[in-house]
Every structure is written in structure tokens, then in C-alpha cells.
Amino acid sequence: MGGCDDCAGSEGTAAMSKATAAELSGEERLIARYFRPLAKHPGAFGLIDDAAAIVPPAGCDLVLKTDGLIGGVHFFPDDPADAVAKKALRVNLSDLAAKGARPVGFLLALALPEEIGPAWLEPFARGLGEDAEFFEFPLLGGDTDRTPGPITISIAALGAVFHGKMIRRSGAKPGDRVVVTGTIGDAALGLLLRRDPTTAERWDLNRGHQDYLKARYLIPQPRNAIVEALRTYATAAMDVSDGLVGDLAKLCRASGVAAEINVESVPLSDAARAACAREPALVETILTGGDDYEVIATLPADAVETFRQAAALAHVAVTEIGTVVAAGEGSARFLDRKRQMLSFTRPSFSHF
């Protein structure tokens, strides 16, 4: 600390502005450059306050979720930064969708290794902004740190549902049907393709199928478009992020029911079907691999067709895959065409 310094205060506005700009810390400049343009919600205060403030939507409960991505764990270090940003948002949007909640906004906690600079931050902020706009899911605030570890992105997501109307995991009832959106297993196969390029040859996949599966791993498609249909008809729901088998078991345990799933009914993409035709054992990867970000839901048998039609209007395919049955502690049974139960070596993705 030096002594007297009169450089500021008497040189007029231009000089003061310059001095002010120079005073901004690197962190403030980074936020101003990349993230302030995204903070359009009035309660984000342009990211220049300690916190955001939002008026909760009238008559609604807030639905809260946090989910994160870690470089080398949830995405490849060389994945395009805009895709990483979208995946980070969408894994959280997927939870909001499954809970019947509309997006309200998110907080972003970003830990960045030393080598991350504008070449990564610019596309990351662009991707984040595109999805924030598309899903009407504004950035409300954040935190940015350096880390000696990999890129670590934590999103805290806020959604809103009418009071008491969040779709729980625990509402499935015997007799309900089990449905799932989209197709299952694509991302798990895409991940295998990314990890081992010889896989594509072994599966004899054409370029289009390879690209499709990889894209499904890279950027999930959350099902927020059917949130109202889910809220109207589903008795229970969750998003499939750790594999269909393990996640359905969680839903069954929470509901105190069992489910019987016809494995042949589980919807597969053409690409997954092509891979499976060459390597039938892939059905385990498909059913237990993670990163689907589809919604699994239960609903009364007489609501399935109406629900399917409502989802179709939003261009989301819905497939009935099984039935909820009464059973002690709750479990999910995956039955083959002979109604024999399949067992899995690793029913669910888990970090621990």
C-alpha cells in the first residue's frame, strides 16, 4: 500500500470511467463479458448484486433441483462448450419436466481450470444463452471460481407447479400403466461409441446411426413440452438419468409397488435397434445405461391413450411398456417375451 494517490476524483467523468473500468477485477470482467448478457430477468439485477430476488409465481410451489456436470465424468473434455452448457441446463430441465414443473430460472456455479479462457467461455455462454431463451429458463445468478480440477458446472434449477401438484415418485398405484417418452438407451450406446471407435464397426452402424447415438449422449432432449399432460394424467413420474432399470426400481420403491415391464415394448431408436441386432447383449446397456433424460411415468390405464395423443401434439412419442402391480417393498421386473425375468449385473449407474 502506497501513500497519497490523487489520481482519481478531479479528472472529470472520462478519466473516472477509465479508472473504474481498470478497478474491475478479472472475475467481474469475466461475468460482465460472458454472463451479464444472459441475465435478462429483472431479479438477476444484471449480476451486480450479491443475490437475485424473484417474486414467486402466485399459487405455486417452487420445485428445486441441483444437478452438475464434471469434465471427464459427465462429458468429454473436448466436447464443444456450447453442447456442455446445454447438457448442464437440460439435465436439470429434465427433472423439472418429470415433476410437472415449468422452468422459472437457474443459478450457475462454475469452477474452471486455469487453461479455460475465451475460446471455451464464449461458446459456453452462447449455448447457455440459447437454451435459456428456448426453454424460458433465465440465468438468475452464479458463482465463478478457479479449480485445480476439471471443469465443474453445478446448476440449481427452480421450477413452479400449482400448489401441491408436483408429480412425485410415490403415487404409482396397482393397475396403472408404465409409459416412457422417446427412446431408451441411445445415450449409453453413444457413450460406448465415443469411448471406443472400434465399436461402430463391430455394430456395423452407418454414419447416420453413429452420429445419432453420439448426439443423444452429447445433448439430451428434455421433455418439458409435455409438462402439462404429465401433470394432468401421471400418478408418478421421474426422469430416467441413471438407467431405466434402476430408476424404475426407485419409483417402485417410493410408491411401494412393483412394475412388470415387457422388455420387447421398450422403445428403441433405429440406431439402437441396428446395434442390438448385431450384439443382442447390448440390451443390458440399453436398459441400465444412464443419460437417457426421458420421462418414465405411471398413469391410470384409461388415461394412456389421451396422454399419448396430448404428447403427440407436442411431438413427443410415448410408449406403454408395462403395468404396475401390488407387491410388498416395491421392485421392477423386466420380462422377456417368454415372461421370464431378466437380471442385470449392474442395474443402475452410480458414482459410489
> Residue 299 Cβ, how far from its own copies at the closest point, in Å?
17
How far is Cα 330 from Cα 349, in angstroms, rounded to an integer? 19
Residue 93: all three cell numbers together: 430441465
User: Which DSSP string corresponds to 284-320?
Assistant: HHHHH-S---EEEEEE-GGGHHHHHHHHHHTT--EEE
Amino acid at 61: D
Residue 165: all three cell numbers together: 401438484
How far is Cα 59 from Cα 249, in angstroms, rounded to an integer? 33
Residue 31: all three cell numbers together: 461475468
> Residue 79 Cβ, how far from its own copies at the closest point, in Å?
16
> Residue 93 Cβ, how far from its own copies at the closest point, in Å?
12
Q: What's the alpha-carbon Rg for the chain, to the nearest Å?
A: 23
Is 46 or 80 the residue whose CB approaches its own copies more closely?
A: 46
Q: 342: buried, middle or exposed (CB in 10 Å: 19+, 13-18, 0-12)?
A: middle
Closest CA to 199 of 95, 272, 290: 272
> Residue 316 Cβ, how far from its own copies at the closest point, in Å?
18
> Residue 161 Cβ, how far from its own copies at the closest point, in Å?
7
> Residue 81 Cβ, how far from its own copies at the closest point, in Å?
17
Is 210 or 275 the residue whose CB approaches its own copies more closely?
A: 275
Residue 44: all three cell numbers together: 438477476
Is 25 or 198 the residue whose CB approaches its own copies more closely?
A: 25
Three-state secondary-structure class, residue 327:
coil
Is 147 or 232 the residue whose CB approaches its own copies more closely?
A: 147
> Residue 44 Cβ, how far from its own copies at the closest point, in Å?
9
Is 121 or 210 the residue whose CB approaches its own copies more closely?
A: 121
> What are the C-alpha distances in Å from 92 to residues 107, 160, 282, 308, 311?
11, 13, 27, 24, 20
Closest CA to 274 of 211, 334, 218: 211
Is 167 or 210 the residue whose CB approaches its own copies more closely?
A: 167
Is 1 or 207 the residue whose CB approaches its own copies more closely?
A: 1
